[in-house]
Structure 1
Amino acid sequence: MTRIRRPHARLRTVTLAGTAVLAAAALTACNGDGGSAAAAAAKETPQTKVSVSASGKQAKAGEPVKVTLTGGGKLDSVTVKDTKGGTLTGQISADGTSWTSARTTSPGTSYTVEAKAAGATATKADFTTQAADKVSKLTIAPGKNTTIGIAHPVSIVFDNPVKNKADVEKHLKLTTSNNTEGSWGWMTDYSGKDRVDWRPKDYWKSGTKITLNADLNGVDSGRGGGWFVRDYTTNFTVGKNQVVKVDLDNHRLKLIRDGETVKDAPMSAGTPGGDKASWRGKTVLMSKEGTINMRSETVGLTGSDSYDKMVDYSMRLTWSGMYAHAAPWNRAYFGNTNHSSGCIGMSDSDAKAVYDAVQIGDPFEVTGSGSKGTQALNNGYGNWNVSWADWQAKSALKS
C-alpha cells in the first residue's frame, strides 16, 4: 500500500508583535537621541513568535497539532477548525507556552489555526493534510435508537483489515447508564473480515442505556487497511429480561421472562449424529426474518437431505443457517424426537407466539445431547460460549 508521505519537518512561524515592541520601533524612527534608548527597550522586550507543527498542502495526517510560543509571554487561546465544520480541541500547557490537540488530524482535510498570546493580536495559519490512499469503513450492530435483548453484544465489522488493533480499540468509547462491566474482544468475522465486539461480563440488565462513540476520524488502521475519515456513534436500550431455553433431550423450548416461564412449547431440533444436528451453547437471536425461502444447498445438504421450503416465523440464530421457526411438516416429532435439518421447529401457533414475544438480542441457551458441538464465536454472536477471562484476553489492550 502506498503510505502517506512524511514531508520534511517544517514549522510555520508567525510573529505576534506586542504593543511595547511597536512603541520602541516608533521611537527609533522619530528621535535621533532616543535611538539608543528605544533599541534597548526593544532588546528587553523580545518579539513573540508562534509556531504550528503542520504547514503546507501535503501535511502528514494522523498527527496532533502543536502550537508553540517563543520569545516570552503566554498563550491565551488556540482554536483549530476544519472546512467541514469540525474542531480539534486541545489544552494549553501549564507554562502557557504550548498547546496540543487532543485528537489527530484527518486525511484530505484543510485546517485553520488561530492563536492568541497575551497582549498581542491573534494570528492565523492554514494547512492541508494529504488525502488518504485508502479509506476504511465499518458496520455497527445494534443499530441506532434500537431496543435489544440482554445478550446482544456491541459488534463492529471493518471493511478493510485492521493491523493497528490497539490504536483502533482505544478510540472506541462505550458508556452505560449503570457502569456495566465489559470488555472488547477481537476475532475474524464469519465473513472473513476483522471484527471487534464489546461483551458485558454477564447479560445486560434490563433498562440499561448504552452509547458507543467510535472516535476514529484520523486513525490509521494499518497496512492494507487505510484511514478512517469520520467518527461513528450508536445508542440503544436493553429491553425485557428474557431467555429462551432449548432442551435437546426433553424436546422443549421455554421462554422465560423475569424468571417466570411464559411459554413452554414442544419442539423438534436437528437430527443427531451428523451435519443435520443442532448447535449447542449460548447463541443470540440475530434477526426476525418472517417468511423466507430455505434451501438445503445453502447449508451444504444435498441428495436425500435436500429441501426447498417457504418457512414462517423464522428467527436466525447463526450465520451457518440455524433458525427457530414453524415446521408443521414435522409435527409428528414435536416433543419426542429431534428430526430436523438442524433448526428448532415448532407448530405454527407456538412459533408465532415465540416470534411475537422475542427481541433481537435475546439469548437462546441450547443444552442437551446429540448436538454437533458448541456454536463458534464468530458464527453469529457466540461470545457467551467463551469464559470471561478468555474473553478479556481477546482485547488488544490487555495487560
Structure 2
Amino acid sequence: MGRFARAGAMVGALVLTASLALTGCGDDQKKPAFVANGQSADPSATASATASVTTPDTTSGSPQPDAPPLRVSPADGAKGRPVSTEISAEIPGGGKVSEVVLTAANGKAVAGRMRRDGSSWVPSAPLKYGTRYTATVTGTGTGGQTHRGTSTFTTMAKPKSMIGSGLYLFDGNTYGVAMPVVAEFSPGIPKKDRAAVQRRMFVQTDPPQPGAWHWVDNGTQAYYRAPEYWKPGTTISVRLALAGIPLSNGRYGNVDRSATAKIGRKLEMKVDNATKQMSVYENDALIRTLKVSLGKKSTPSSSGTMVVMEKKEHTVFDTRDEPDPRNRYVTEIDFAQRITWGGEYIHAAPWSEGVQGRQNVSHGCVNVSMANGRWLFGKTLVGDPVTVKGTEQRLAPGNGWTAWNMSWSQFVAGSALPVPDGGAGPAF
C-alpha cells in the first residue's frame, strides 16, 4: 500500500516530494526521470536569425524622412535583463513588426521567431548571462512607411536562487493517446507568476490540435492536453523556455527543456467494478476482456480516468513504511504498470486468480492473471488511458497524471491565461 508520494530523481538534481496519504497496493517508488536532454533550442524554431514574418518594403528599403524610429524593448542601454528577454517594439501610430535581428557582442546572430500574435520575438535558446546584445527591429506603419529602431542591452549575471523544473516527456519516445505534457516545478509557481510562466511554455502538434494548460492548486505541476485524446500519429514538440524567467519570490527559472515525441495507436482500458472486468479497446474496437480483482473495501481502488505512467516487467512492492501494519509487505511483482502516485498499479497477481472476476482482494491495484498481465504489458504504452468506475474511492486530483479526469471546461478553468473556445493554438 503506497502513500501519495511523488519523490523521485529529476534530471538536474531536482527532488520533489508530496505527503497526501492515499491507499494503494504498490510501493512508494521513485518517479520516472524527467527529460533534460541537453536541447535548449526551440524544436520548432527556424535556423534564421530574423523573425519568420516579413513584410516587403515598398520604399527604397530605407526609412522615409518623416518615419520616426520605433521604440524597441528592452530599451537602449538597459542593464541586468533576464536571459529570457523577448524583443518587442512600439511603432508610432501603430503598425506591424516585420523583422528582428539580434546579435551578441561577438557579432554572432541569435535565432528566434515572432509570436503568432506579433507581440514579441522569442529567441530560440536562452540568452547568455552577462552578455551585451544589440536588437535591430524593422516595422511597417499603418500608412505603409518603414520604421526602424536599435537597442543595445546587457543581460544579468547568473542568479543564485533558482526554481527547479522538469518535463515528463522523453525525446523520440512514442506514447499513448492520453499522454499529457507534464511540467513540474520545485517549489511551486506562485499564482501571480503562472501567467508569465505559461507564456513561456510552448507546445506544437502535427497535425495541429488545440490545447490548453491546467495548473494544480499548489503550482508544482501543469498539464497540457487537447479537448479530446491526441490523434494517433501526432507529433508533439514542447519547449519549456524557462531559463532565467524572473518570479515574484526572487527566484529565476533554471533551464530550458525541450522534447519531441510521437503518439502511437489508440488503446484504452476500461475497468468496471460491477462486472470486475477490464475491457481493452484498440482503435475503438474491443479486442479482449480480462477478469480483474480490485481493492477490497478497506483499501479501495480509485475510480476515475488515469494514465499509465511507467512500466516495469519485474519489480518489488515494499510497503514496510505504511502506518497500518496490516498493509506492510514485500512482494515480487510482474508486469507492473503504475497509474497513480499513491501506489496503484495494473499488475499480474497469480495469488488472486481464483477470485478474479468475482471478488476484490487487492490493496488498491488492478489485479489480473499472469497470462493476461503479460499480454497487456506487451500491448500498452506509457500514456495509455485507464478508466475505473464503481469503486468506493474517487481519484484525487494530482494523484498521478489526472489531466483527463475532468471535463474540458473544468480543465481550461485551471489555465493562467484566457483560453479561446475549443482551445488555444500554438504560440508561433
**TM above 0.5, one fold?**
yes
Matched residues in 2 for 1:340 and 1:82: separation?
A: 64
Task: Report how many aligned residue pairs link the two structures.
Answer: 324
Distance in 2 separating the partners of 1:385 and 1:365:
9
1:282 and 1:82 map into 2 onto residues whose CA distance is: 52
Could you tell me which residue of structure 2 aligns to residue 315 of structure 1?
Answer: 337
| Cα 1:86–1:216 shift into 2, 3 Å | farther
2:186 aligned with 1:159, yes or no? Answer: yes
Between the aligned partners of 1:301 and 1:343, the Cα distance in structure 2 is: 18
Please, which of 173, 177, 186 is the counterpart of residue 202 of structure 2? Answer: 173
Q: Aligned-pair RMSD on alpha carbons? A: 3.5
Looking at CA atoms only, which structure, 1 or 2, has the larger radius of gyration? 1
CA distance in 1, matches of 2:107, 2:377: 45
Matched residue, 2:129: 108
Corresponding position of 1:219: 245
Q: State whether residues 174 and 264 of structure 2, in contact with CA within 8 Å, keep that contact through their aligned partners in structure 1.
A: yes
State the match for 1:295 in structure 2. 318
Q: Distance in 2 between matches of 1:357 and 1:281?
A: 21
Aligned to 1:397: 417
Partner Cα distance (1:84, 1:326) in 2? 61
Q: Which amino acid is 2:129 matched to?
A: G
Q: Which residue of the partner structure matches residue 243 of structure 1?
A: 268
Pair 1:85–1:134, CA change in 2 (3 A): farther
Distance 1:358 1:67, change over 3 A: closer
Q: Distance in 1 between matches of 2:281 and 2:155?
A: 58
CA offsets per residue over residues 313-340 of structure 1, 9 Å max, x none? Answer: 1110100000011111112211111111
Task: Give the TM-score normalised by the residue count of structure 1.
Answer: 0.71
Aligned to 1:59: 80
Greater shift, 100-109 or 341-350, is seen at: 100-109
Residues 125-152 of structure 1: CA deviation (Å, up to 9, x unaligned): 6745233132233111121111111111
User: Which residue identity does 2:227 align to in structure 1?
Assistant: K
TM-score with structure 2 setting the length? 0.67
Q: How does 1:267-346 map to 2 (within 5 A)?
A: 267-272=292-297, 274=298, 276-298=299-321, 300=322, 302-346=324-368
Alignment partners' CA distance in 2, 1:397 and 1:260: 37
CA deviation string 1:101-121 (max 9, x = no partner): 73488573312438699xxxx
Q: Structure 1 residues 344 and 111, CA, compared in 2 at 3 Å: closer, same or farther?
A: same
One-letter code aligned to 2:182: S
Residue of structure 1 in register with 2:404 after alignment? 384
Shift of 1:250: 1.0
Alpha carbons 1:263, 1:354 under 8 Å: kept: no
Match of 2:387 among 328, 343, 365: 365
Counterpart AA for 1:326? A
Structure 1 pair 193/294, CA: closer, same or farther in 2 (3 Å)?
farther
When residues 335 and 78 of structure 1 are mapped into structure 2, their CA distance, relative to the original with a 3 A threshold, is closer
Runs of at least 5 residues in structure 1 that lack an aligned partner in the other structure: 1-47, 69-75, 92-99, 118-122
Provide the rounded CA distance (Å) in 1 between the counterparts of 2:330 and 2:398. 27
Q: 1:396 to 1:82 in 2, by over 3 A?
A: farther
Give the superposition deviation at 1:281: 1.0
Q: Distance in 1 between matches of 2:120 and 2:286?
A: 55
Cα distance, 1:114–1:372 mapped onto 2, change above 3 Å: closer
Secondary structure at the residue paired with 1:175?
strand
Aligned counterpart for 1:136 among listed residues 152, 163, 171: 163
Offset of residue 375 of structure 1: 1.0
Cα shift readout 1:61-85 (whole Å, capped 9, x = no counterpart)? 36556899xxxxxxx9853226796
Percentage of matched positions with identical amino acids: 22
Distance 1:289 1:83, change over 3 A: farther
8 Å contact 2:76–2:152 — kept in the other structure?
no
- Runs of 5+ consecutive residues of structure 2 not aligned to the other structure: 1-68, 91-98, 139-149, 420-428
State the Cα distance separating 1:382 from its structure 2 match. Answer: 1.4
Separation of aligned partners in 1, 2:242 and 2:316: 39
Q: For the residues of structure 2 that align with 1:66 and 1:199, how far apart are their CA atoms? A: 29
How far 1:221 moved relative to its partner?
A: 3.0
Structure having the higher helix fraction is 1
Residue 284 of structure 1 and its aligned partner are, at CA, apart by 0.6
Q: Equivalents in 2 of 1:154, 1:90: separation in Å?
A: 23
Counterpart CA distance in 2 for 1:282 and 1:263 is 19
Per-residue CA deviations over 1:142-171 (Å, capped at 9, x if unaligned) read: 211111111111000012332310011111
Opposite residue 187 of structure 1, the aligned amino acid is V
Cα distance in 2 for partners of 1:236, 1:187 equals: 24
Output one character per residue of 1:324-364: Cα deviation in whole Å (capped at 9) or x when no partner: 11111112211111111111111111110111111111111
Matches within 5 A, 1:32-47: none
Instruction: Provide the residue aligned with 1:33 in structure 2.
Output: none
Which residue number corresponds to residue 31 of structure 2? none
Provide the secondary structure at the position in 2 that maps to 1:168.
Answer: helix
Of 330-339 and 352-361, deviating more is 330-339
1:26-61 deviations in Å (ceiling 9; x for gaps): xxxxxxxxxxxxxxxxxxxxxx9x9983548x6343
Structure 1 partner of 2:213: 184
Contact 2:89 2:137 in 1 (8 A): no
1:242-286 per-residue CA deviation (whole Å, 9 max, x = no partner) reads: 0011121111122211122222221211112x3x11111111111
CA shift, 1:195, in A, is 1.0
Residues 165-205 of structure 1: CA deviation (Å, up to 9, x unaligned): 001111122111122122100014xxx76111102111111
Distance 2:397 2:135 in 1: 50
Match of 2:342, SS state, is coil
Structure with larger RCO (C-alpha < 8 A, sep 6+): 2
CA contact (8 A) 1:187 1:378 kept: yes
Q: Which amino acid aligns with 1:355?
A: F
